[in-house]
Amino acid sequence: MIIIDENEIELVERYREGARGIFWNTTDFEDRARRIEEDEGMELFDRTLFSEALNKMLEDHDANYGITWDTVDYWLLYWCKLPESRAKQLKLEL
């Protein structure tokens, strides 16, 4: 594996020095969105905004409390929720 991105190089160096981290991804947003939408029975979120919401979440989080699933839910509802006029009923397979 060849690493050319400076951020990747820094992560590898920190890992080799014993640092560990927790990573959040847009797939975490997708998982939470799908669960919420299944509960509500309708599509509620604009998936094109997940990456931007993830970045905002990481920039704005309070390090005293960390990031939890509640934090992801907040950003989904605050940043990614579709206007009611665009929300669609889901066709759930039973």
Average pLDDT over residues 9-23: 91
Q: Residues in the chain, how many?
A: 94
Residues of the chain above pLDDT 70, percent: 93
- In the chain, the number of structural domains is 1
Q: Could you tell me the residue range of the domain that residue 81 belongs to? A: 23-89
What's the pLDDT at 90?
64
Residue 17 within a domain: no
Nearest-10 crossing angle of helices 26-40, 50-60: 110
Average pLDDT over residues 43-71: 96
Residue 74 within a domain: yes
The mean of the pLDDT values for the chain is: 90
Cβ partners under 8 Å of residue 28, min gap 6: 54, 72
Residue 35 within a domain: yes
